[in-house]
Each structure stands twice: as structure tokens, then as C-alpha cells.
Structure 1
Amino acid sequence: MKKRILAAVLASASILGAVAGCSSNATSGASSTASGNNSSTAGGDSTASENSVVDTKEQGKVFNIYAWNQEFKGFFEKYYAGAAPLNQEDVDKNGAEPIYYDKAPGIPEGITVNWIINPSDDGVYQQKLDDALKAQSGAAADDKVDMFLAEADYILKYTNSDYTMDVSTIGVTTLDTQYKYSRRCIRR
């Protein structure tokens, strides 16, 4: 259940990825937390229904997120995981006491978030993502792609594939404040 909640929140937040900038910082890293239960991933069977029960026996404890730069990771750590102080620049420059976002829900116990970051230059990000998605069926539970970010110019390549699921199946609904083009991108 905890991994399903994480997937829902991250899927909602991935809309930021569709409208975010196009920096190309090329690094790969991991951000992790403690231990506990897990349930569902953001990637999965596109025929799942909102009321379906997910078999958790095959689920891992690592939530893999593919991105093309550090921007979404920064948002995630600041507003969701509560890892980055809101006043990071002041902390770094002046030694100020860090102030944390007090409403950050945090990563569920037992789930490790692993960031796979590849630059978007020369199609590297899409190629690495394509390779990882094609290897999903044979990958270990902790190595599967759970979530990935995509830009509006190529998101349909993924939303119209067998590698993704409709985000409404994990509880993501249309928001009044969402841009219409973002809504069209996430719907199949």
C-alpha cells in the first residue's frame, strides 16, 4: 500500500516533468530511506482497474525513477521527501539553521528511492529508458522502472505503449489547476 501511495503522489508530481525545463545535467545517484511494507509500482499493467488488488509478492523495496536532469529530484526531495531544507542557499552560504517543509509526507518506511538520471542530449535519456522498459519482464523487482519523466514532445510514445498504465488507475485525477495540454498528455 505504501508503494502504491508513493506511486500515486509521484505520478501526480510527474506532471511537473512535462512542463519543467530542459537542463541536461548528466549524473546518476540514489536517495534512500528506511524499511517496511510495499505494494504497487507506477509502471504496470495498463488494464488494471481502480478497484483491483495488486499482488505484492513480486514487488521490490526500491522505487526507481528515471529522469533527464536533477530538477524533479530537487522538487521531490524538497517537497515530498522533506530531505532538502527550504533555505538551502542560506544554509550553505551563511551557516543558517535549516528550515524544512513541515508538510512533506516523506517516503514510506522500507522504500528506497533510486534516481536513474541520464542526459536528454542526443536522445540518450529516451534510449536508456526504452532499454529499461523493454527489459521490464525479465528484470528483478528492485530493478524495474517504477516511474519516469517525459516531455510533451515525446510523451505519447510512452502513454500509447504497453509499458505504461493510465494514472487514473492509481488515483490520479484531473486537477482544476492543471494545464490542458498536460491533461491531454497523460491521458491515452
Structure 2
Amino acid sequence: MKKKVLSIMLAASVMATMLAGCGGTDASTQTEGKASTQAENASSSLEEGKVVNIYCWNDEFKSRYEAYAKDLEEKHGVTVNFVIVANENNAYQNNLDAALQAQESAASDDKVDIFLVEADYASKYTKSEYALDVVGDVGLTADDLSQQYQYTKDIVTVDGVQKGTTWQATPGLFAYRRSIAKEVLGTDDPAMVQEKLSDWAKFDEVASKMKDAGYFMLSGYDDSFRAFSNNVSTPWVEANKIVVDDNIMNWVKQTKTYTDKGYNNKTTLWAPEWSADQGPDGKVFGFFYSTWGINFTLLGNSLADAEGEKAVGNGIFGDYAVCEGPQAYYWGGTWICAAKGTDNISFIKDMMYRLTCDAETMKKITLDTQDYTNNEAAMNEIASSDYSSDFLGGQNHIALFAEAAKKIDMSNISDYDQGLNEALQQTMHEYFEGNVDEQTALENFYQSAIEKYPELTK
């Protein structure tokens, strides 16, 4: 899974259509009988479709579905069709929005049945009429959803109604090179390294030591952003006014210092140079990564031979470990939404249950892929077992993720997170590179933000 947080706001005409409210009942207060009755009524009012269309932007969910839920096609007598549109330049959302707007008049085989969303723009869809209540409409129960991490439910809950569900939780950690830790810090033990990185002041001290030893603490400008932006005290927007939180400015200050002192390698997120810094020739101590990033992106970038065996001896496979780092945070995640107008409610209910609620499936996904799944009981079982990751030098990273997941705070999430996060990072790059001063960079950010969201003010 190679996440790119690349969504932009829809045109005003599209947003006006999509932001119609959808009422419902809090999942925590639903009774199983009522939920089942509502789902049965919804299902019986439509002839069950023969094609299930699933809209997504890459093949990650397709691989999960085919590995763990494809047998449901035979049970329901359906064929699943994946409509995959890469999300470059907002193409995925634009394509999905057009399909949802045409939903009412679409033929059965052409209807959107399921669509996927990411955290940074989930609220656009959950606040619209197009995403169904997973309890009242689809038929999952409060008991079914009880082991999911609360923050994964909060992200897609509007006025007490949960309008999506996910198989993954995405707490973040700090992944570091064991060999560099031994050389510079005298130990690669995760507990001891964590002691040296447990707050930002200590993190800065280690950054200085890394520079003196010929290494970079971080790769580029954006690496620590999520650890700061997920710990703000206020949302991005209050009463239509843009609020630049103090913790966002702490990221700006740290990154400017790291750039000027040579503590980072001046790369940008997802750039080839950034990926190379994670590989055999890299001189970077560590990377802030959530669950998907470690077992997909970081692992892939660590290999000298991408087509070769994923094992010790191929590049720096086995040279990474993880620790909690200075602050708890999360990054990314993909949610499954049922589309209003679908004629495959029965299939959707079974698929959502299998892939996001069933503890045995969640456990198997983690054991098979090292991904961190959205079932607290299953993850705690693995965390307390002798499970270990060869990629992380034999470490049971699930135990650390289990602790980090409990600390995630979604209280300051807003509808503007993706657009404003991206705008700030992009405009601040000019400041970090010395092309403009800080105040000019901030003014450029406000201008970019208001052009994107004309309803906002400085």
C-alpha cells in the first residue's frame, strides 16, 4: 500500500449536491433486531443485483478482498467488478462523484455499490447522502463493531451515524536503522532507543549526534509533519476562519532548523530521493511511518533487489526497528462505504462483516501481511504472543502499535484537513529552501487556502 494523500475539494456545484444530510441513529444505541429489520427491508425493496461495483484508487483493497472474502461471490451469486481510478489530480474523486450523481438512473449492473475513502477526505462523503449507515441501512450491529478502534469509527461518524468501516487501524511509530543506532547511540534495543527519543527535545539532541556522525536524522521536510499535525489543540477551521495551530508552527520551526543545520536531506514526501534514503545506500536514521508504511513502503524501499526474496541479505531487510517516538499519531487508512442506491445490501453486509469485524479474519490478515488490523482483541492477542517480524529484526511491532492506537485523538479533525495540510506543506517548502521568509510563506499559504476554499477567511 503506497498511500498518497492527494485529494482536492470538489467544484461548488458538486459539493452542493453532496452535502445533503443523512439522518440516522447512533450505532452504539442500535439493537440487533432493529438493525436487522432495517437492513432486511432495504434489501427486500430491491431486486438483488448480479454485479457489485467497487470504486477505489489502487489494488490494495482488491488484494484484501480476493484473499479473504472472494468466496462471498458464490454465496450471493454475484460478480465483483473493481473500478480502479488512480487519485492523481483528484481523478478518483471526480470519477466517483460523477458515478454517484448518476446513481438513481443507472442500470443495475452499473450502480456504485461500494466505494472507498481516505481519512483526509472521508467527511466529504460521510456528510453527504451517498454513504449509507452501516448499522441502520447495511445491518451491522453494535456488537459486530464493538472491537473496532474508536477513532476508526469516529472518522466516519456523523451525528451519531457510522457511515463507513475499515479493516485497518493506522497508528504511527518511528522506524529507525538498527546499524546506525548501534553506531551512534550505542544500542539498537527499541526500549533504549525510545528513551532517547521520548520527547522532541531529546529527539533534537539525537539529531545533532546523527549529524556529527555523518547521518541525517530525517530525510526531508515532510517527514515529521503528521506527528505534529495529529496533535493540534484546535481544528484547522473555526467559524470559517483558518487557524494555524501552535503545534503546526512547531513543525515549521523544527523543520527549518533541521534544514539549516543539515539534520535532514532536503527531500520531499514520495520523491525518488526520499524513497532512496530508505534503502541500502541511505544515510537517514529514521522515518515516521504508520502501519501500512512499514510493511509496504519501507520494506519495499529497503530491498536492493525489488524482485528478489524478502529476507535478510536483500538490501537492508532486517536492519530496521520501531519505537513509539516523541508523540502518538496516525497516518492514513481506507474506509469502506456502502453507496446509497446499491442493490447489493446483503452482499455488502457480509463483506463488511468478514473484512472489518470478524476477529479471525483480522488476525489472519495481520499474520499474513504484518498489517495492523481494526480489531482490538485480535491485535492484543498477537501483541502478547511470540509473534515477530523478520523485517524488523525479530521485533513484535504489533505490541507497540497496540499501545499507540489507544492514544490516537480525533477530536480536532475537520473537513479541511487534506486541503490545508497539503497547502501548508507546499508553501512552507519555499521557506525551508530559503526562497522566501516565514511570513511570506504564511501569506502564500493563506492565499492558496482561500483560493481553494473561498468561504474561508484569514
TM-score normalized by the length of structure 2: 0.25
Match of 1:160 among 127, 130, 133: 127
SS in 1 for 2:153: helix
Match of 1:172 among 140, 148, 159: 140
- CA offset digits 1:147-167 (Å, max 9, x no partner): 011000111111111111111
Structure 2, unaligned stretches of length 5 or more? 6-21, 25-33, 159-458
SS in 2 for 1:69: coil
- CA offset digits 1:45-65 (Å, max 9, x no partner): x56872231335444211110
Change (3 A) 1:58 1:73: same
Is 1:125 the counterpart of 2:92? The answer is: yes
Q: Which amino acid aligns with 1:186?
A: V
Aligned partner of 1:114 in structure 2 is 81
Whether contact under 8 Å (1:65, 1:113) holds in the other structure is: yes
Q: Which amino acid aligns with 2:153?
A: R
Whether contact under 8 Å (1:167, 1:186) holds in the other structure is: no
Whether contact under 8 Å (1:166, 1:186) holds in the other structure is: no
- CA offset digits 1:75-124 (Å, max 9, x no partner): 00001115xxxxxxxxxxxxxxxxxxxxxx55424201010000011111
Identity of aligned residues (%): 42
Is 1:142 the counterpart of 2:109? The answer is: yes
Aligned partner of 2:67 in structure 1 is 78
Change (3 A) 1:117 1:166: same
Q: Larger deviation: 166-175 or 121-130? A: 166-175
Match of 1:65 among 37, 40, 54: 54
Whether contact under 8 Å (1:23, 1:69) holds in the other structure is: no
Whether contact under 8 Å (1:118, 1:125) holds in the other structure is: yes
Structure 1, unaligned stretches of length 5 or more? 1-19, 25-45, 83-104
Larger radius of gyration: 2
TM-score normalized by the length of structure 1: 0.59
- CA offset digits 1:2-61 (Å, max 9, x no partner): xxxxxxxxxxxxxxxxxx65269xxxxxxxxxxxxxxxxxxxxx5687223133544421
Give the paired residue count: 126
Aligned-pair Cα RMSD in Å: 2.5
SS in 2 for 1:22: coil
Give me the whole-angstrom Cα distance separating, in 2, the residues matched to 1:184 and 1:133.
24
Q: Which has the higher contact order (CA 8 A, sep 6+)?
A: 1
Give me the whole-angstrom Cα distance separating, in 2, the residues matched to 1:21 and 1:166.
28
